Amino acid sequence: MGPFEIAALAIIGGIGLSAFKVYHDNKGKAGSAELDQLRAEQEKLKQRIATLESIVTDKSYQLKEQINRL
């Protein structure tokens, strides 16, 4: 292997390594719009869960369920 081949491999390896670093740094980042959308959806789901919990723990709902089981 000649000196030119070694130099070419070093240059290609350096470019590949820097590209991998950029890819790895940006891999986990989501866009702010997408992140805001996911947070809004999460808040809606939390509200729905709270509503369902209040319905299920309501005594009249439990009484209706017991009556329906009979």
Q: How do residues 5-57 score in pLDDT, each as one tens digit?
A: 888 889 999 999 999 998 888 877 767 788 889 999 999 999 999 998 888 88
Which residues lie closer than 8 Å to 60 by C-beta, 6 or more apart? none
End-to-end distance of the chain based on CA atoms, in angstroms? Answer: 87
Locate 31 and state its tokens.
Answer: 């866009």
pTM beyond 0.85: the answer is: no
